[in-house]
Chains A and B, each alone.
Chain A
Amino acid sequence: MSAAPLELRGFSAGYSASEIRVADATFSLARGTMTALVGPNGAGKSTLLKGILRLTPVHDASSVRFFGEPLDRVRSRVAYLPQRSEIDWTFPACALDVVAMGLYRRLGLFRRVGRAARDEALAALALVGLEDAASKPIGELSGGQRQRLLVARALVQRADIVLLDEPFANVDEVTEQAIASVLQKLRGEGTTILAVHHDLGTVRSIFEDAILFNTRVLAHGPARATLADISVARAYGIVLEQEHAGRIS
């Protein structure tokens, strides 16, 4: 049997020993599964994703394995989609430029983006319904279009596991549908997906599995059962009501 696409054993992360945002996380994801990482604001969900990818300080890198290997040996099989709000959308680029960035590793140093790479990027744009926006400046795209653009950039990486930070945050319904169906298609092809998600209302309809997280892994299993668990209340505590209020506004 092949190794799990992602396996964590006692993984901890944070900017310093006194500021641990992720404590002793242990879980593994199976091939071709789609898991929501759910928890209240400030639970450390983004830090968990960034820590797994070594984008933030971690305490013991060997506690993370992708396909049984350390990250550096399998980078081409791993794709990451950061939060849309962390990106400078005033950067002077067109949509096609951004999607092509997903190909930079495969192209290698000093190599230019050629015709084949452009065609591949255009095909990914078409998959998220942005085929007409290829030459549009990214600053002129709507929030939903920007999110789909980032998904297209992850798509061209043709990774075996995709980690997404809030791909459904503040998007219109068309975008939500488009992203959900693209991710489900990937899952069907055997790709493993882990996404930070904060909307409890849509977790069950989009994801099959869920990890309930608040600094620690509180529960992990089928979305329906996990979220019905009493531990939801434990994770969210009194924050739950405020979260709902915040989401509606």
Chain B
Amino acid sequence: MTSFLDDIAGIGQNTQLALAGCTLFGGVAGAVGTFVLARRRALLADVAGHASLPGVCVAFLIGESLGIGGRTPWLLLAGAAISALLAAWCVPLLARLRGIGPDGAVAVTLSFFFGLGTVLLSSVQSHASGSQGGLRSLLFGSAAATNRGDIIALATLAFAALVVLIALFKEFSALAFDEQHAQSLGLPVRTLDLVLMVLLVATVVSGMQVAGIVLVVALLVTPAAAARAFRGSIARVTAIGAIIGALSAAIGVILSLRFEELPTGSAMTLAATAIFFVTLLLPGRMMRGALT
């Protein structure tokens, strides 16, 4: 235990920065997740995660061909966001086709984008800096493979998402609880839904390098699901989701730094799930649900 604490105390400045950035991401994901869950968008978060892969790869190849370097953080985030948004846009379109349905649309979109991404990834790996720079660690995340620029980019994006969430908190609450009433109030529900979607993608994309595109959905959904065990106002439950998300991310980073073979995203996911299971023991949790 002592050596473990020494590890944390003795970590370098860059690692401390990574820990802080990941904790911020985890907190924002936990808070955004409250509304993602309430709007039944959990699977869309999974689509956004997987679908960011082809965008990242294309952005990498563009960066290489322009000579500015494939691992330019903002370029990768932009590429990821574009392909994730494109996929999120495809889902409702496909769902409208006869005989597919929302779950079929999610499965078709997710697997197509991820399949395309893995093909592109093999092309990226042929560039020396692709493997050196840690694009391979994108799947399950690696805090160790990030550099200062990556962390600053992820923290900025996560912080921007947090600001939007706080600014529109009551509007998102009205939308998530009772869309028809929100619309009758004259709130711009379509625009709000779109902003929430962009927020979801921004959160997913900000965390993709550390949580991994395959598992980033867990940081949006599991802490928010765990927070549902607590009673109270919307603000309180959202804040608890944020705390659980931040805690899960921090534990994940620390564990993955301690055990080098452990991918950061996997450790974050296991930490979040462990907290989720603990919340199942809280009184009243198992009886929750609509009893109308």
Contact = CB atoms under 8 A, between A and B. Distances in A.
Interface stretch (B13-21, B165-173, B264-272): B165-173
A198 interface: no
B187 A90 contact: no
Task: Give the interface size bracket for B toward A.
Answer: 20 to 34
Interface in A89-136: 89-94, 96-98, 100-102, 104-105, 107, 109-113, 135
A197 interface: no
A239 to B, nearest CB: 25
B233 A93 contact: yes
B186 A80 contact: no
A153 interface: yes
A55 B186 CA distance: 11
A214 to B, nearest CB: 23
A85 B292 CA distance: 8
Contacts of A140: 231
Interface string B172-183: 011011101111
B184 A104 contact: no
Given A86-B180, A91-B38, A110-B168, A104 B187 contact: yes
B224 to A, nearest CB: 9
Nearest to A86: B180
B180 A82 contact: yes
Contacts of B288: 90, 139
A89 B176 CA distance: 11
B290 interface: yes
Contacts of A17: none
B171 A109 contact: yes
Contacts of B107: none
Interface string B214-250: 0000000000000110111110011000000000000
A19 interface: no
Contacts of B228: 90, 92
Interface string B13-50: 00000000000000000000010001000000000000
Kindly list the 8 A-B residue pairs having the minimum CB-CB distance in the complex, ordered from nearest: A80-B184, A92-B237, A75-B186, A105-B185, A89-B290, A93-B234, A91-B177, A94-B233
Given A53-B183, A101-B170, A139-B290, 13 more contacts: A53-B184, A55-B180, A82-B180, A82-B181, A86-B178, A93-B173, A93-B237, A94-B231, A94-B233, A101-B181, A105-B185, A112-B169, A135-B232
